Structure 1
Amino acid sequence: MSEVTAESFAALTARLEVLEAEAEIRRVQARYMFLCDTPNPEYGVKDNQERIELILDLYTEDATWEGVGEYYDNQFGQAVGKDEIRAHFNRFWPEQQDPELLLNAHYLTSEQIHVHADGINADGQWIHFQPWLYADGTGLIRGSRLNNLFRKVDGAWKMSRTRTENVFIVPLPDNFASDYPSASVLLRP
């Protein structure tokens, strides 16, 4: 058995820190998508304002949320800082929505996470796929590419940029979903 040197211990520690960073970044990204689902599966969240604040907790103070590319430039634009990101989500979840969004579920694939050499910055790319169903029976499937940035702040990984680019939008047949929950009970005790 070989002797553990200071160099080999440092190399092993650095590899472990990268793996832990990747796992935490994965959880931050997945939590963001989870909180954006409809119906909201987070137990005990009373309204969209509380949901939005939980989403904002995942971001750095100076974060950017932006939709880019031919389709998203005009639909989403760019929001810089938590106040603008909050306003963006308030437009997405208005008090009264017509037609009401009944179902929106986020699926992430093709993950790539890169922790930078400084150990406090990272980037991640995913392909994101989501079905939408509205109260009037209309629906669509949206596919997007995500290219997000992350920064370690006070020992915790946060999103410093969400950048989404449209890949496709496909209209679904009216009333495409026969069974869907009116409220999530997933995390209910």
Structure 2
Amino acid sequence: MTLEELTRRVEVLEAEAEIRRVQARYMFLCDTPNPEYGVPDDAKRIELILELYTEDAVWEGVGEYYDNQFGRAAGKQAIREHFQRFWGEKQEPALLLNAHYLTSEQIHVDGGTATGQWIHMQPWLFSDGRSLLRSSRLNNAFRREPDGRWKITRTRTENVFVAPLPDHFASDYPAASVLLRP
């Protein structure tokens, strides 16, 4: 193996690792309660999420279930507005908990661009005792920016299923995350 071939392999491995961290950070910031210490409100959370996206990024829900539920947001401002609708509007019943679990990862790097596919599951607990389990397929795209950082250029999510869980399914869950508190 030549030094050039070895360098290319290391670059691909480093890109995959960074893309994995970007995707996991996105999911982490979307969890409720928000586990990021020192984030005072959802407006700051949204801005932290937007730091993961390129200026020309697209966020979209696709398929027969998500087309009408999520739609398509093109550009950072439209993505900001998408998240402001989700977290900015008072929802009843209130969402007490959701946590994202990623699996079935596939990352494909091609120079300065990449795609990644995952399946994710997330339990949702609401203040009225209702609970559900959601699962989606993700088909996302990424680009290495001029500063060398990988960012999301497309989030595309498609519903796999939504399943009601028994009321009060979870007995113990935090009102606030203290995981990253110093």
TM range (shorter): over 0.9
Q: Secondary structure at the match of 1:11?
A: helix
**1:184 equivalent in structure 2:** 177
Q: Structure 1 stretches of 5 or more lacking a match?
A: 1-6
Identity rate of aligned residues, in percent? 76
Whole-angstrom distance in 2 between the partners of 1:95 and 1:142: 21
**2:96 equivalent in structure 1:** 102
**2:133 equivalent in structure 1:** 141
Matching residue's letter, 2:20: R
Q: Alignment length, in residue pairs?
A: 181
Matching residue's letter, 2:117: Q
Larger radius of gyration: 1
Whole-angstrom distance in 1 between the partners of 2:98 and 2:113: 30
Matching residue's letter, 2:45: R
RMSD after superposition: 0.8
Matching residue's letter, 1:129: M
Whole-angstrom distance in 2 between the partners of 1:57 and 1:13: 29
Q: Structure 2 stretches of 5 or more lacking a match?
A: none
Matching residue's letter, 2:84: N
What is the TM-score normalised by the length of structure 1? 0.94
Whole-angstrom distance in 2 between the partners of 1:169 and 1:42: 27
| 1:101-146 C-alpha deviation (Å, 9 max, x unpaired) | 1000000000000001xx1100000001000001011111000000
Q: Secondary structure at the match of 1:17?
A: helix
Whole-angstrom distance in 2 between the partners of 1:94 and 1:57: 19
- Please report how far the alpha carbon of residue 97 of structure 1 lies from its aligned counterpart in structure 2 after TM superposition: 2.1
**2:80 equivalent in structure 1:** 86
**2:8 equivalent in structure 1:** 14
- Please report how far the alpha carbon of residue 95 of structure 1 lies from its aligned counterpart in structure 2 after TM superposition: 4.5
Matching residue's letter, 1:74: N
Question: How do residues 1-189 of structure 1 correspond to structure 2 at under 5 angstroms?
Answer: 8-116=2-110, 119-153=111-145, 154-189=147-182
Matching residue's letter, 1:120: G
Q: Secondary structure at the match of 1:93?
A: helix
Q: Secondary structure at the match of 1:149?
A: strand
Whole-angstrom distance in 2 between the partners of 1:176 and 1:150: 37
